[in-house]
Amino acid sequence: MINPDIRDSPRRPLIVYFNGTIVNNRNGAHVRVTSLLNLLIGYGCKITVYSHSNHGECRWGDAERTIFSKQFPGVALVLDRRSPVLRY
């Protein structure tokens, strides 16, 4: 149970980084970060998820962005492209 005093406090900004999409729950890491986001939402955090849209196996396509916005309303999603230099 969430402490009511925490919910009444100002929203804490928090950035969560994950390399690719999380909404398809393809592995345990996706399930864990989904659970983490739900926990942070319950604590009243103002969350921004930062990710790479062009991940090799877990890309953020239109369908994934739509699922994310429905699953996590109010959570900002910032997508960047992973460059060859970053891969190096």
Residuewise pLDDT in 10s, the chain (88 residues): 455 555 555 677 899 999 888 898 888 988 999 999 999 999 989 999 999 998 777 889 999 999 999 999 999 999 998 766 666 5
CATH class of 4-87: alpha beta
- The number of C-alpha atoms within 13 Å of 41 and in the hemisphere containing its C-beta is 14
Give pLDDT, residue 37: 96
For the chain, give every domain's residue range.
4-87
In a 3-state reduction of DSSP, which class is residue 62? Answer: helix
Q: Tokens for 74?
A: 């109010």
Bridge partners, residue 46, by sequence:
13
- As a whole number of angstroms, the distance between CA 7 and CA 77 comes to 22
